[in-house]
Structure 1
Amino acid sequence: MGDLPSINDLLGDTQSSHKSTRPAPAVSPEASLHVASEATEEQFEKKMQKVAVKEKETETQRKAATLGYPHIDLSAFPISHEALKQISQEDATRLGVVCFFVNQEEIRLGALDPTTEEMHTFLKNMETRTYTKGVLYMISPSSLSRVLDLYKTLPHIKPISKNVEIASSDLEKVQADIRDFQGLQKSIEQVNTSDLVTFLLGAGLKLEASDVHVEPEVENAVIRLRLDGMLHDAATISKEAYHKLVSRIKLLSSLKLNISNKPQDGRFSINMSSGDVDVRVSSMPTVYGEGIVMRLLVQNREGLTLDSLGFRGEAYQLLMSEISRPNGMIITTGPTGSGKTTTLYAIMQLLNKPDVKVITLEDPVEYKMPGINQSQIDHSRDYTFAKGLKSILRQDPDIAMVGEIRDLETADTAIQAALTGHLILSTLHTNSAAGAIPRFLAMGVKPFLLAPALNAVIGQRLVRRLSDTAKVETLLTPEQQTKVDEIIASLPSKVQALVKEKKQKFYTAPEYTESGELGYKGRVGIYEIFTMNDDIEQSILSDKISEYDIERLAREQGMLTMAQDGVLKALDGITSIEEVFRVTEK
């Protein structure tokens, strides 16, 4: 102990170098006692607060046990942003409930009072939205307070560049202010030029537009929205406002401001409480300036089911049976914009389970799906569908989705995968389901491989849904009635009998009502689906095959055509005959 330096030894240099420094004033014993007592009191208060919180937690635990609910202390529980985002901050505060865990199978909620009917309804809605099983826990006020504080860590603003950003709160305010489509021109006249992008995005999201078009003309520019597949003129802006709007959109999407004579593509994202929105931007030079299109991709795909898409009856049962098979190939057909990829997303939503590996190959990836491995084609790096599919198969998937089969190499790889224990989902550009088989054979696919690989083929179109409040009963024109009678007469006998049992009623709607409401709101699919049977297999294996032959065999099997499905949906008041004929007549 004698070898250790004293405190004076350690401070010797300091003391010697500050010999002229005046000694520090002495602190009175009373002041020391006062400081010590304040520190002790503060420590005591903190300790008592912890004791009170612990007692409240114990009380909550006892109450939960009495009521038959599990209890959890969230004071130090790690909660991911993914779990937190399942419930908006407003709902969490209002209802006293938070989500603290979510995966593909289960969602766990903590509530101050899990016994209320409102809470059980909320839980059921969460189960429906997330396709999971819900479990309700009881939590203490301190647990709720701690989780509510975590909402501050969520990103509410998506920075796009150094000088430009869009606040989700501004978008939500615009959505709340917009009442109907016809009021857009009046509203846009009151918007500052700097807020024009926010206004257009908010309007597009409120009206559920898929695209916002900015089209320059000689003296002004026209804003158009694509609603349910149809373009509508929404407003006109000055050329000055147009130039500022284009510059801001290009900044947001990281396009080059100094290039206006070449097409450019960009994108940006916005984080909103209702779900993220991806915005794909395309610019193209025209004689009056750059034409801009913003595609709005809302990432929240809740409620996406085969039933909500319009599958029903025997078509629904057939498809459910085919997607439950472990291998084979399911193909959706139709032109661009007919909902083929959405159908495949709905199928994957059903098949996405923890014990199944699903991989997709898309061009581009439009919607992100939790639990699914999604890969995007990149032609600039020679990453094509054919090469990507070969890579996918080395990843040991159970299910693979290929965005489109365009060539023989992709088709052959997909068929080989379907024959070796994988379920393959893909699309083809043909006018009907029956046209898929001749298209495969025209690519050079061997008939003896195609026949056993193919499970089902779906043909589809999208028709606009009639608004329940705007639709009115209508009489068909003689020409329309003749076509409808022919289609009904061609229905399978069982379906035909059901149709003839009830009075024929058809409905229509104006594009806009007097109050400014849209006559059509949303879209629904009309479908035809056939599965493989011996007759169709033999037809494929024969030397002579045509789209007409395949359709005839499929209809003998009981297949409803798209036109037939459309007429049945029109009879049910879902859509109008004009819509059915618009999308099905060649």
Structure 2
Amino acid sequence: MTALMSKAARGLWLLVGLILLAGIGSWLYRHSSQGPEPLLKLGALYLKTAATPLVIGSAVMALVLGLGATAASALARRTLPPVARRPALSPLEVVNEDVAIAVREMLVELGQYLRNLGSRPDPDIIDFMGTLMDGAIRVGASDVHIHPLEAGTRIAFRVHGVLEEVLVFPREHHPRLINRVKVLAKLTLYKLDKPQDGHFPFSTQEGPADIRVSILPTNHGEAVALRIARTGVRLPQLTALGFPAPLLEKYQQILALPQGVIFVAGATGSGKTTSLYASLGHIKQSRGALTRIASIEDPVEFDVPLFAQTQVNAEQGFTFAQGLRSVLRQDPNVIMVGEIRDPETGRTAIQAGLSGHLILTTIHANSASGVFNRLIEMGVEPFLLASATVATISQRLVRALCPHCRAPAPLASDEQARLEEAGLLGGTFYGAVGCPRCDGSGYLGRTAIYEMLVVTPAIRDGINAKVPTPRLQEIAMKEGMVPLLTAGVERARTGATTLREVFRVVGG
């Protein structure tokens, strides 16, 4: 309503200006042959008959429009209460019970507010988009997905690795919403059949953010994925990530080493980036402010002020390997490499780990013992890999049971068979029940399970001999490694999650 009144006011002023210009032009045309005297008369006449009424009329019009806008704003506030201001959550924050409840409450509140906005006959898309992005940052979302469907446009946030649906937007307003994103990212509006990428800045009370835009044509319209790059996010404490006490102590000892390579393996969305950032935070805290830490990422997901971050740009020829070589000239103590994707990056990281730097990086592998053969397949020499690597970690995220309603549950026949096969029978296991605190799902937040392989002389010999991954796993277990399945079953026995959830994520 306020926007409509503002447009009407602009149109009215334009009409008044055109009438005045037309009248003045007509009068000048009629008296153009009578010299300067008519102009002086016109000025006097304007001051006497036009200026005073215009000033009074302008004041009256401004008063009327101001009162109307205030009334419209008050009416909007009565019918559409603003979302309550809550402290923003960090995308890297550990998903404990309190965080999970806060996220759920904020999502429900935001979804209702946006539904009310979107259900209007002519919704204010600018206001809608601004509220959507502000809400995404407040709940700690890393991505916003705008996906067109036949029945409507589904808008969802990825919060701590899990997609949470916020609302379904009316289908008829989808083109306007996509055009608003394109305007913000300075993309071509009329290009509907080709993918487009861009970014735009977004300011919040918690500071600026950079929103990376990816637009993809689909059969129901253009789908949009918005990646939120935050500044000044709160790093989680390493002690809050869910490492068992013996494993945490051993990992902290490894992080104190002056050189070597630490690989973190896991699927997409398994929390590898969070683990790396928490590890760097621990290094900074334990070694002091003079420790120089640098990172090479693609993209820089979160702007962390504790260390220097560099983003690769493959289109410009700036790859991970090139970035790593450049960073090494900056004389850092610790380097984080976002991901090992190719042989050149792998070899460069290994050589850096042998030359007095501590390297932390991620790689896609199924297990901690599977990292080595994955890198050997890439073309990394086994003897270099065995000499430089100090540890590999594999991790998974499982849904955490709601502590308010979980209850002991009997084993299903297939679960019992799997436990027997793994030699892990015994103990009490719990199941999901559901209560108001967990919105009836039985789960509240997520928890992590880990396995860590420390490179010992026996492991080093196995890497040099290129033994198969299962054999390397056997050697690591003899050297004291607790495998991922065993770690998950132990977490299920404590009631942190369900056995079925462990089997779903880890496998048999």
1:540 aligns with 2:466: no
Contact 2:232–2:305 (Cα < 8 Å) also in 1: no
State the alpha-carbon separation in 2 of the partners of residues 579 and 185 from structure 1.
28
Question: Which amino acid in 2 is paired with 1:520?
Answer: Y
Residue from 376, 379, 382 that aligns with 1:441: 376
1:506 aligns with 2:425: no
Give secondary structure in 2 for the equivalent of 1:189: helix
State the alpha-carbon separation in 2 of the partners of residues 386 and 401 from structure 1.
12
Structure 1 range deviating more: 352-361 or 515-524: 515-524
Structure 1 range deviating more: 173-182 or 368-377: 173-182
Give secondary structure in 2 for the equivalent of 1:450: helix
Give secondary structure in 1 for the equivalent of 2:263: strand
State the alpha-carbon separation in 1 of the partners of residues 420 and 138 from structure 2.
39
Contact 1:399–1:422 (Cα < 8 Å) also in 2: yes
**1:427 alignment counterpart:** 362
Distance apart, 1:182 and its partner CA: 5.8
1:258 aligns with 2:195: no
Give secondary structure in 2 for the equivalent of 1:489: coil
**1:525 alignment counterpart:** 448
Give secondary structure in 1 for the equivalent of 2:349: helix
Give secondary structure in 2 for the equivalent of 1:236: strand
Structure 1 range deviating more: 404-413 or 481-490: 481-490
Distance apart, 1:184 and its partner CA: 6.4
Contact 2:401–2:498 (Cα < 8 Å) also in 1: yes
Normalised by the length of structure 1, the TM-score is 0.63
Distance apart, 1:468 and its partner CA: 3.0
| 1:207-246 equivalences in 2 (<5 Å) | 207-246=139-178
1:247 aligns with 2:156: no
**2:322 alignment counterpart:** 387
Contact 1:178–1:184 (Cα < 8 Å) also in 2: no
Could you say if the C-alpha distance between residues 273 and 564 of structure 1 is closer, same or farther in structure 2, counting changes exceeding 3 Å? farther
Could you say if the C-alpha distance between residues 326 and 299 of structure 1 is closer, same or farther in structure 2, counting changes exceeding 3 Å? same
Could you say if the C-alpha distance between residues 573 and 292 of structure 1 is closer, same or farther in structure 2, counting changes exceeding 3 Å? same
Distance apart, 1:201 and its partner CA: 3.1
Normalised by the length of structure 2, the TM-score is 0.72
1:583 aligns with 2:505: yes
Give secondary structure in 2 for the equivalent of 1:430: coil
1:307 aligns with 2:242: no
Give secondary structure in 1 for the equivalent of 2:411: coil
Give secondary structure in 2 for the equivalent of 1:344: helix
Could you say if the C-alpha distance between residues 209 and 420 of structure 1 is closer, same or farther in structure 2, counting changes exceeding 3 Å? closer
State the alpha-carbon separation in 2 of the partners of residues 219 and 567 from structure 1.
42
Distance apart, 1:392 and its partner CA: 1.1
| 1:269-418 equivalences in 2 (<5 Å) | 269-274=201-206, 276-302=208-234, 304-352=236-284, 353-418=288-353
Distance apart, 1:383 and its partner CA: 0.4
Could you say if the C-alpha distance between residues 523 and 269 of structure 1 is closer, same or farther in structure 2, counting changes exceeding 3 Å? farther
**1:42 alignment counterpart:** none
Distance apart, 1:409 and its partner CA: 1.6
Contact 1:172–1:202 (Cα < 8 Å) also in 2: no
Could you say if the C-alpha distance between residues 227 and 474 of structure 1 is closer, same or farther in structure 2, counting changes exceeding 3 Å? farther
Question: Which amino acid in 2 is paired with 1:333?
Answer: A
Q: CA RMSD in A?
A: 2.9
**2:415 alignment counterpart:** 480
**2:401 alignment counterpart:** 466
Distance apart, 1:292 and its partner CA: 1.2
Tell me the alpha carbon deviations over residues 425-453 of structure 1, each in whole angstroms, 9 at most, x when there is no partner.
11111111111111121122222221111
State the alpha-carbon separation in 2 of the partners of residues 315 and 301 from structure 1.
26
Could you say if the C-alpha distance between residues 561 and 177 of structure 1 is closer, same or farther in structure 2, counting changes exceeding 3 Å? closer
Distance apart, 1:307 and its partner CA: 2.1
Contact 2:399–2:446 (Cα < 8 Å) also in 1: yes
What runs of 5+ residues in structure 2 fail to find an aligned partner?
1-80, 88-101
Contact 2:115–2:167 (Cα < 8 Å) also in 1: no
Residue from 193, 197, 209 that aligns with 2:129: 197
Tell me the alpha carbon deviations over residues 390-420 of structure 1, each in whole angstroms, 9 at most, x when there is no partner.
1111111111111111222212211111111
Distance apart, 1:334 and its partner CA: 1.4
Could you say if the C-alpha distance between residues 171 and 545 of structure 1 is closer, same or farther in structure 2, counting changes exceeding 3 Å? farther
Contact 1:470–1:517 (Cα < 8 Å) also in 2: no
Distance apart, 1:294 and its partner CA: 2.3
Contact 2:338–2:362 (Cα < 8 Å) also in 1: yes
State the alpha-carbon separation in 2 of the partners of residues 529 and 285 from structure 1.
42
State the alpha-carbon separation in 1 of the partners of residues 112 and 497 from structure 2.
31
Could you say if the C-alpha distance between residues 578 and 180 of structure 1 is closer, same or farther in structure 2, counting changes exceeding 3 Å? farther
Give secondary structure in 1 for the equivalent of 2:136: helix
Distance apart, 1:469 and its partner CA: 3.4
State the alpha-carbon separation in 2 of the partners of residues 516 and 298 from structure 1.
29
State the alpha-carbon separation in 2 of the partners of residues 574 and 504 from structure 1.
12
Give secondary structure in 2 for the equivalent of 1:283: strand
Contact 2:452–2:482 (Cα < 8 Å) also in 1: yes
Question: Which amino acid in 1 is paired with 2:443?
Answer: Y
**1:554 alignment counterpart:** 476
State the alpha-carbon separation in 2 of the partners of residues 211 and 345 from structure 1.
18
Could you say if the C-alpha distance between residues 320 and 282 of structure 1 is closer, same or farther in structure 2, counting changes exceeding 3 Å? same
Contact 1:171–1:202 (Cα < 8 Å) also in 2: no
**1:567 alignment counterpart:** 489
State the alpha-carbon separation in 2 of the partners of residues 307 and 287 from structure 1.
46
State the alpha-carbon separation in 2 of the partners of residues 472 and 207 from structure 1.
29
Distance apart, 1:584 and its partner CA: 0.8
Give secondary structure in 1 for the equivalent of 2:204: coil
Question: Which amino acid in 2 is paired with 1:191?
Answer: L
State the alpha-carbon separation in 1 of the partners of residues 225 and 389 from structure 2.
38
Distance apart, 1:362 and its partner CA: 0.6
Distance apart, 1:355 and its partner CA: 1.8
State the alpha-carbon separation in 1 of the partners of residues 109 and 233 from structure 2.
28
Question: Which amino acid in 2 is paired with 1:380?
Answer: E
Could you say if the C-alpha distance between residues 523 and 279 of structure 1 is closer, same or farther in structure 2, counting changes exceeding 3 Å? farther
Contact 1:358–1:397 (Cα < 8 Å) also in 2: yes
Give secondary structure in 1 for the equivalent of 2:254: helix
Contact 1:528–1:560 (Cα < 8 Å) also in 2: yes
Tell me the alpha carbon deviations over residues 272-325 of structure 1, each in whole angstroms, 9 at most, x when there is no partner.
344554433221101111011223444454251222222122221221111100
